[in-house]
Structure 1
Amino acid sequence: MSGVLEGFTTIGALIALGALLAHLRVFDLSAQVVLSRLAFYVASPALMITVLQDADVSAVLSRNLVATGCAVVTVVLLYVVVARLVLRQDLADTVVGALCSAYVNAGNLGLPIAAYVLGDAALVAPTLLLQMLVLQPIALAVLDVAVAEHRVPWHRFVTRPLRTPLTVGSLLGLTLSLSDVRLPRLVDEPLGLVGAMAVPAMLIAYGVSLRLGPRPGSGGSAPVLALIVTLKLVVQPVVAYTLGRFALGMEGAPLLAVTVLAALPAAQNIFVIAVRYDRSTVLARDAVFATTVLSVPAVAVAAAVVG
Structure 2
Amino acid sequence: MSAVLSAFTPIWLLTGIGYAVGRGGLLGEQAESVLGRFVFHVAMPAALFTMVSGARPGTFAHPSLVAFGAGTAAVSALGYAVFRRNFGRDRAGAAIGAMSCGYVNSANLGIPVAVQVLGDASFVAQIILFQVLLVSPVILTLLDSGTRERGGRPREGLRRMVTLPVRNPIILASLLGVAVAATGLRPPAALTRPLDVLGAAAVPTALVALGLSLHRGPGGGTGPGPRRAETAVAVGLKTLAQPLAAFLVAGPLMGLPAHQLLAVVICSALPTAQNAFVYAREYGLDTGPARDSVMVSTLVSMVTLSLAAWALGPSG
TM-score (norm 2): 0.91
1:195 aligned to which of 195, 199, 202: 199
Shift, 1:84, TM fit:
2.5
1:305 pairs with 2:303 = no
For the residues of structure 2 that align with 1:180 and 1:288, how far apart are their CA atoms?
36
State the AA in 2 paired with 1:239.
A
Shift, 1:222, TM fit:
1.3
Hey, what does 1:136 align to over in structure 2? 136
Cα 1:23/1:191, change in 2 over 3 Å: same
Hey, what does 1:236 align to over in structure 2? 242
Shift, 1:172, TM fit:
2.4
Hey, what does 2:273 align to over in structure 1? 267
For the residues of structure 1 that align with 2:147 and 2:223, how far apart are their CA atoms?
25
Cα 1:47/1:263, change in 2 over 3 Å: same
Hey, what does 1:173 align to over in structure 2? 177
SS in 1 for 2:118: coil
Hey, what does 1:255 align to over in structure 2? 261
SS in 1 for 2:224: coil
Aligned residues: 306
Q: How does 1:110-129 map to 2 (within 5 A)?
A: 110-129=110-129
Answer yes or no: is the 8 Å Cα contact 1:55–1:122 preserved in 2: no
SS in 1 for 2:107: helix
For the residues of structure 2 that align with 1:229 and 1:136, how far apart are their CA atoms?
19
1:277 pairs with 2:283 = yes
Q: How does 1:1-307 map to 2 (within 5 A)?
A: 1-148=1-148, 149-214=153-218, 219-220=224-225, 221-307=227-313
State the AA in 1 paired with 2:246.
A
State the AA in 2 paired with 1:201.
T
Answer yes or no: is the 8 Å Cα contact 1:76–1:98 preserved in 2: yes
Shift, 1:283, TM fit:
0.7
State the AA in 1 paired with 2:260.
P
For the residues of structure 2 that align with 1:102 and 1:177, how far apart are their CA atoms?
27
For the residues of structure 2 that align with 1:188 and 1:84, how far apart are their CA atoms?
41
For the residues of structure 2 that align with 1:53 and 1:41, how far apart are their CA atoms?
18
SS in 2 for 1:265: coil
SS in 2 for 1:214: coil
For the residues of structure 1 that align with 2:131 and 2:140, how far apart are their CA atoms?
12
Identity within the alignment, % = 37
For the residues of structure 1 that align with 2:267 and 2:54, how far apart are their CA atoms?
20
SS in 2 for 1:48: helix
State the AA in 1 paired with 2:170.
L
For the residues of structure 1 that align with 2:204 and 2:287, how far apart are their CA atoms?
19
SS in 1 for 2:108: helix
Greater Cα offset, 184-193 or 120-129? 120-129
Greater Cα offset, 151-160 or 283-292? 151-160
SS in 1 for 2:255: coil
Shift, 1:3, TM fit:
4.3
For the residues of structure 1 that align with 2:190 and 2:69, how far apart are their CA atoms?
37
Shift, 1:170, TM fit:
1.8
SS in 2 for 1:131: helix
Answer yes or no: is the 8 Å Cα contact 2:105–2:274 preserved in 1: yes
SS in 2 for 1:58: coil
For the residues of structure 1 that align with 2:42 and 2:286, how far apart are their CA atoms?
23
For the residues of structure 2 that align with 1:19 and 1:81, how far apart are their CA atoms?
33
Answer yes or no: is the 8 Å Cα contact 1:56–1:125 preserved in 2: no
TM-score (norm 1): 0.94
Q: In structure 2, list runs of 5 or more residues that go unmatched.
A: none
Answer yes or no: is the 8 Å Cα contact 1:219–1:282 preserved in 2: no
Answer yes or no: is the 8 Å Cα contact 1:110–1:124 preserved in 2: yes
Shift, 1:2, TM fit:
4.8
Answer yes or no: is the 8 Å Cα contact 1:4–1:109 preserved in 2: no
